[in-house]
């Protein structure tokens, strides 16, 4: 099997598995309990929190541990909204962001969705025209389908100038771009473990210290009252160890980019049309193939032993054209229906890329549907 779907989930490194196995005898206990078993679990949990914090240059006290990136997005967006009158986002956000914003819209918030035509992110000036005191901006750092890097540092600057709040979905940025939470200037940042080889169901939301954040769940006072519920200590241990490896992932980016460029050039020669614009992370290529249907192409590749996707994994079961690519290219609707995402990671080898390229050639040169 050749795995090229790292933007959905990265393979779990052996070091993460070992750490979780070693922690299992103590991680079962409730870390909120004050007895010895609870304290042992709490120690593991806080060590993991520290690892997560260090991976983004933050303080551990500002990290809220969540049950995955979706919850982190919900907490960051809805928690910061606090009855705000306006939310500004884009038309190409991950469903976890888009649906959180839609919930606020149903509650009466005025929502502005900026266009990303041709895959080009909104400029800071365009964003600034929609801002005012108390406005919430909810926006991604790295597009999950095309890898396009949004200028969130510039967005943060214009948000400060207009006294607006900024939430950044960094679930696809962690391990691909250096992150310094304090220097970035955002108010909240969402992270997900499975994007860097940690277990699914573990995530975190960094919150700027001193912010008034409304919990999105009801229950106990865990996570300093910001996220009720007993945390999954064992999963957080895995998340923490995966965060220790983000430096190694960053070091591998040039090599991964070369591999991505190699397979992308091959697929363009085979008729693929690239979606998205630079700057991009080196981990992903999104291409459309005229006269093909994306789901059929991915199924044919699966039979060849190559794992790729048509877009966000949480939407792929719908078998609908990519909403992201459709929004980027509204005048070329064939792109959305035929888009395929190839995403790589530090585990990807040159042999993987060569074998995958050969499989694409075999499939694409057959009779098209």
Catalytic sites, residue numbers: 314
CA 104 – CA 47 distance, rounded (Å): 35
- Cβ atoms of 92 and 224 closer than 8 Å: no
- What are the start-end ranges of the H helices in the chain? 14-27, 36-55, 69-81, 95-106, 124-128, 152-161, 181-184, 233-244, 246-269, 294-303, 313-316, 323-328, 333-337, 350-364
Dihedral of alpha carbons 191, 193, 194, 199, sign: negative
Which H or E element spans position 170?
none
Query: Taking Cα atoms as reference points, which of 73, 70, 86 lies closest to residue 167?
Result: 73
Structure tokens at 298: 């991915």
- Cβ atoms of 159 and 138 closer than 8 Å: no
Query: Taking Cα atoms as reference points, which of 282, 278, 275 lies closest to residue 343?
Result: 282
């Amino acid at each position: 099997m050749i795995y090229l779907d790292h933007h959905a989930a990265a393979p779990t490194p052996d070091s993460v598995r070992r750490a979780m196995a070693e922690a299992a005898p103590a991680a079962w206990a409730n870390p909120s309990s004050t007895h010895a078993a609870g304290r042992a679990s709490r120690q593991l949990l806080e060590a993991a929190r520290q690892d997560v914090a260090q991976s983004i240059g933050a303080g551990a006290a500002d990290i809220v541990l969540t049950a995955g990136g979706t919850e982190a997005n919900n907490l960051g967006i809805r928690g910061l909204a606090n009855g705000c009158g306006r939310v500004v986002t884009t038309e190409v956000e991950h469903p976890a962001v888009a649906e959180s914003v839609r919930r606020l819209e149903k509650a009466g918030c005025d929502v502005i969705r900026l266009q990303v035509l041709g895959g080009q992110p909104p400029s800071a000036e365009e964003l600034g025209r929609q801002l005012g005191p108390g406005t919430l901006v909810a926006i991604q750092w790295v597009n999950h389908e095309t890898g396009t890097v949004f200028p969130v540092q510039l967005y943060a600057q214009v948000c400060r100038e207009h006294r607006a709040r900024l939430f950044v979905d960094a679930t696809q940025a962690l391990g691909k771009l250096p992150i310094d939470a304090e220097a970035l200037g955002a108010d909240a940042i969402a992270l997900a473990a499975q994007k860097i080889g940690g277990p699914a169901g573990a995530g975190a939301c960094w919150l700027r210290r001193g912010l008034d954040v409304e919990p999105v769940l009801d229950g106990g006072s865990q996570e300093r009252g910001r996220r009720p519920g007993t945390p999954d200590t064992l999963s957080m241990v895995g998340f923490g160890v995966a965060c220790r490896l983000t430096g190694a992932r960053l070091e591998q980016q040039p090599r991964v980019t070369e591999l991505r460029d190699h397979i992308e050039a091959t697929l363009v020669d085979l008729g693929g049309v690239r979606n998205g614009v630079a700057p991009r992370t080196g981990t992903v290529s999104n291409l459309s193939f005229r006269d093909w249907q994306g789901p059929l192409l991915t199924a044919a590749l699966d039979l060849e032993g190559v794992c790729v996707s048509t877009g966000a994994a949480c939407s792929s079961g719908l078998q609908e054209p990519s909403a992201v690519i459709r929004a980027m290219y509204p005048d070329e609707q064939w792109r959305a229906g035929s888009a395929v995402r190839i995403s790589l990671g530090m585990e990807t080898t040159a042999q993987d890329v060569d074998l995958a390229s050969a499989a694409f050639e075999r499939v694409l040169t057959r009779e098209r549907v």
